[in-house]
Amino acid sequence: MMVESALVDRGSGAIFLIEPATHRCASLAIIAAYLNRTSMISEIVFRADSEDAKTSLSFSVRVRGEETLDDLARRLAEEWHAATGLAPDVLGRQRISIHAVAKLSGLIAFVWRLERGIRVTELDLPPNTVAEAFEAQVRKSADAVAVSGEGTQWSYAELDARAEELAGRLVAAGVKAETPVAILMERSPLVIVASLAILKAGGAYVPLHPSFPAERMRWVLTHTQAPIVLTDMAMRERAAELGPPLLLIDAQQRTGAIPALLSPQSDQLAYVMFTSGSTGTPKGVAVTHADVVALAADHAWRGDAHRRVLMHSPHAFDASTYEMWIPLLNGGTVIVAPAGPVEPARLADIIARHRITAAFVTTALFNTLIEDQPPGLETLAEIWTGGEFVSAATMRAATMTLSRTRVVHVYGPTETTTFATCHPLPNTIAEYARNIPIGHPMDGLRAYVLDERLRLALPGVPGELYLAGTGLARGYFDRSDLTAERFIADPFAGSGERMYRTGDLVRWTCEGELEFLGRNDHQVKIRGFRIELGEVEAALDQLPGITQSTVNVHHDDARGKQIIGYVVPAPGHQPSGADLKAELTAHLPAFMVPTAIMTLDTFPLTPNGKIDRAALPAPVYGTAEHSNARTPAEEILAGLFAEILNLPTVDIHDNFFDLGGHSLLATRLISRVRDVMHTELTVRDLFESPTVATLAQEVTTADSQRNPFDLLLPLRPSGQLPPLFCIHPGMGFAWSYSSLLGPIDNARPLYAIQARSLTGPTLSPSSLDAMARDFVAQIKGVQPSGPYHLLGWSFGGLVAYAMATELREQGEEVALLTILDSYPGSEYHIDAGSVPENEALALILDDLGRLVPETERSAMNRDRFMEIVNTEVHSLRFLTQKQISNLIDTWINNIELVRTFTPARYDGDLLFFVATQGRNANSPLVDGWAPYVNGQINDVEICCRHGEMMQPNPAAEIGWIVSQELDRVRGKEEFRGQSAR
């Protein structure tokens, strides 16, 4: 649609940038504005009149995307010069800028009034309450499924009857109009019954999350004066500590008549949800029935996309408003996820099994889903996401991963009833160079972008976002001062209407979409939770022995945004960061507790005496001492911790959450444990056992029957790049390669191959070449064609070499062959004939780091070997005697394979790592490979012993170099591909 304004008559409506008779040369006025199809200004028409008004001419200036007001003023001066022949300085750039700010804002106000009639979808709603809107759905579809979850399935009629019964009990307990009633339960279908019952009784529900500290919950109950806590048997003891009387939702139901229920009004409170407050105390957002009904009436929910909605968010946060009431007030079904955090793979499984059609996920969880690509998301018709910045790259990946799913980028503070604006993504988003827009207002809402004087901003000019219209909360519960500060009179609407000052910086694009730019205060949003840093600082200040504190937000690619605390302790106090975090958990919810707390002697200051936040030190995670893994489970978990947290090494006693872990990273770790270790753990297991050492015990307990010697060990089975295959060393097991998970690119799958003979001596191969052929067949099951990347340590280096020559014989490409301190058999000076068993046992212990003195070697036997393993070699202590016997037989057989192996020629390059410690005059040399390798041998020295190469520090160095080489050969492959095209 093209719309031309009526501003053509100088006397009645022209907007003058230079008034007549105020300048000797001419006057300048805006006489028309053109709007594009999205109702934003695309062109402004100006008229320049001579001083005597006898001559005039018109010219236009097109409004460009992301143009500032100063840019527009500069181009206006240039157009003025071109149209009038007068020098630009006659107009004066500064003069134009001053007038432009005032007069063009007036134009925008005019366009806004016009735009409201075009863009704002007004809602014509009857004055329904949530309960009345739900009851209308009961009448329409009484037998349709309303709620499903935890083995429960209730129809609309059944849910209504349960809520009616509970509402009667609430009324009998004294609940009346707008009585706050607290709900303390884990997520379950009963939460929906409780919420609906409170609304039917005329009250307002106040959800409390079980993870909240008791102190915070008591504060909420005191602030709201809630006379009842509605809970269940599982939470009874926890709720009893809070003070108010309890009403058990799952207790025996009433048998008498249900008291008459009140008839609440649409302007009465529906719920109070508490968000973080800058003064150190939470603030309760008071939302009315009309607000919820208006959200549920938005045209975005029309059709079948939101027919089956997943409820998985914490019900004490505003996403639950969408998850409960959008489906229930539109005839859909709420699918309730099990209690507790839901990690990505499990979330995808729930979506697939329950045929979920729509879900909301926070930006951080959305990013994880797109990165991990768990199977099962295909049933989604729509996925809504928002809460933090989302990159165009992530959204581009989303449109490919979720090709049949509509992705909607959404924005909305709790004060506007969950969602305020939305932006459905097109099929291709290549045009977005940076931020994805947050879109246009939901039905009935108005969005203003204003400067500090509450004037409307031009497209491309940053300003603060103000929201008005339907869905605007009543204010903050019992905080009239804060309500007056944030909910102010709307100067663009009728008398009595208000608008909410969001504190968010945005700008209009020329396409009529809002783009989020950041905050203008100390509020942040982390993993979907809105946090006032002032509240965290206030909690730190209250801790004993702290004289000064501040809080900052640190960001890195692996952990995302993290709250970091900084304190100056009082003289004589030296609290540890871990102790301070433990104390804070009694005052703050887990999502508000800083990831790390740094102790400083003094704070760095700016020249004007304020804390210099930019000069605060980067956070330090973990402990100063380092304890290495003692068992295979610990080795694998240490590698997974390092991978998820983007750390080179992890001590087995470091707390995952002290290292920068958070709930979303926890879900990713649990998913990786399932992939790699085939063990089912929950996020709660990690919270209860947050170190490598303690979680390894959980893994052992959870699946003590699992075979640790599976042939193919998928250390990281997913990723977009070709895998790296790592071949076992002499003893046959390969879990030590988990040390490479951290330094190797997360986009590259990592597989370890273990010896078949570990499960029984009858499976021992007859030759090293036969083993190589077997392993090649195994990796082709994962990756059918090249280019292949192989790595082997010790005996595994010889197998990797034999696999490379076998692959080349089959016509496959080997892009990278890496050998760690492994040499052709002749270089080992192995005598003809078998190695005596006593010497073999001593050599195995040497490899395990338990050096056997010469005086003990001749007397070594299997009984003595088992005794040493059980008392001194922690990494094998978990194995049975039969498994250790298989390990010994595997090692002995592998020595025989080395003795009889003659390498074939290899027509490629070799990356070789030499362990420099513990060598002597008889130690083999890398030159031993020269007769067999046609390409270049690139050798790298690593300062460690042969048996230490997969210890954390050497492995981090090796992994980094291998990663660089993988990137290099990948670049060559891509260049060849482009040249071929």
For 849-864, how does the pLDDT look when each residue is reduced to its tens digit (9 = 90+)? 677 888 888 888 888 8
d(CA 414, CA 625): 44
Q: What is the pLDDT of residues 769-779, one digit of tens each?
A: 999 999 999 99
Structural fold of domain 636-706: 1.10.1200
Q: What is the pLDDT of residues 825-878, one digit of tens each?
A: 654 444 545 667 888 888 878 777 677 888 888 888 888 888 887 777 656 655
The whole-number pLDDT of residue 185 equals 94
3-119 CATH choice from 1.10.3470, 2.60.40, 1.10.40, 3.30.160: 3.30.160
Position 609 confidence tier, pLDDT thresholds 50, 70, 90: low
d(CA 447, CA 442): 9
Considering only 287-301, 701-715, 954-968, which range has the smallest mean pLDDT?
701-715
**531: which strand partners?**
524
Please identify, in words, the CATH class of the domain defined by 708-831+880-981: alpha beta
Proportion of the chain in helix, strand, coil states, percent, rounded to 5: 40, 20, 40
Backbone angles phi, psi at 34, to 5 degrees: -105, 140
d(CA 410, CA 427): 17
Evaluate if residue 382 carries a pLDDT over 80.
yes
Higher pLDDT, 382 or 571: 382
**878: which strand partners?**
none
pTM value? Answer: 0.58
Evaluate if residue 235 carries a pLDDT over 60.
yes
The whole-number pLDDT of residue 334 equals 97
- Domain parsing of the chain, residue ranges: 3-119, 443-523, 524-615, 636-706, 708-831+880-981
Judge whether 203 and 170 are in contact, CB under 8 Å: yes
Name 264's Cβ contacts closer than 8 Å, sequence gap at least 6.
129, 131, 177, 199, 202, 289
Token readout for 730 is 């002499």
Token readout for 438 is 């947050």
| CATH fourth-level superfamily of 443-523 | Luciferase; Domain 3 (2.30.38.10)
CATH architecture of the region 524-615 = 2-Layer Sandwich (3.30)
d(CA 502, CA 520): 9
d(CA 254, CA 400): 54
Considering only 78-87, 114-123, 897-906, 928-937, which range has the smallest mean pLDDT?
114-123
Position 103 confidence tier, pLDDT thresholds 50, 70, 90: very low
Amino acid at 52: D
Q: Where are the alpha helices (DSSP H) in 442-586?
A: 480-486, 533-541, 577-584
Token readout for 182 is 């607290």
Half-sphere exposure of 109 (CA within 13 A, CB side): 15
Amino acid at 75: R
Q: What is the pLDDT of residues 520-574, one digit of tens each?
A: 656 666 655 667 676 787 778 778 888 777 887 777 655 567 788 888 887 777 7
Evaluate if residue 119 carries a pLDDT over 50.
no
Name 793's Cβ contacts closer than 8 Å, sequence gap at least 6.
726, 727, 729, 736, 737, 820, 821, 822, 949, 950
Judge whether 212 and 317 are in contact, CB under 8 Å: no
Mean pLDDT calculated for residue range 952-957: 80
Q: Is the dihedral of CA 61, 66, 70, 75 positive or negative?
A: negative
Mean pLDDT calculated for residue range 657-664: 70
Q: What is the pLDDT of residues 48-61, one digit of tens each?
A: 665 555 555 565 66
d(CA 403, CA 452): 42
Evaluate if residue 42 carries a pLDDT over 70.
no
| Residue in 511, 490, 321 with CA at minimum distance from that of residue 420 | 321
Amino acid at 259: P
Name 853's Cβ contacts closer than 8 Å, sequence gap at least 6.
none
Mean pLDDT calculated for residue range 81-100: 46
Q: Which helix (H) or strand (E) holds 499?
A: strand 498-508
Q: Which helix (H) or strand (E) holds 467?
A: strand 463-469
Higher pLDDT, 728 or 7: 728
Evaluate if residue 930 carries a pLDDT over 80.
yes
d(CA 451, CA 456): 7
Name 77's Cβ contacts closer than 8 Å, sequence gap at least 6.
88, 91, 93, 96
Q: Is the dihedral of CA 824, 829, 835, 841 positive or negative?
A: negative
Token readout for 412 is 């909305």
Higher pLDDT, 964 or 112: 964
Token readout for 389 is 């910045």
User: What's the farthest any 2 CA atoms get from each other in the chain?
Assistant: 119
Mean pLDDT calculated for residue range 589-613: 72
Considering only 16-20, 150-154, 871-875, 964-968, which range has the smallest mean pLDDT?
16-20
| Residue in 586, 531, 551 with CA at minimum distance from that of residue 282 | 531
Q: What is the pLDDT of residues 398-452, one digit of tens each?
A: 877 788 899 999 999 999 999 999 998 876 655 554 578 898 888 888 888 888 7
d(CA 308, CA 381): 10
Judge whether 246 and 236 are in contact, CB under 8 Å: yes
What would the 3-class secondary structure string for 166-216 be? HHHHHHHCCCCCCCEEEEECCCCHHHHHHHHHHHHCCCEEEEECCCCCHHH
> Which of helix, strand or coil describes residue 334?
strand
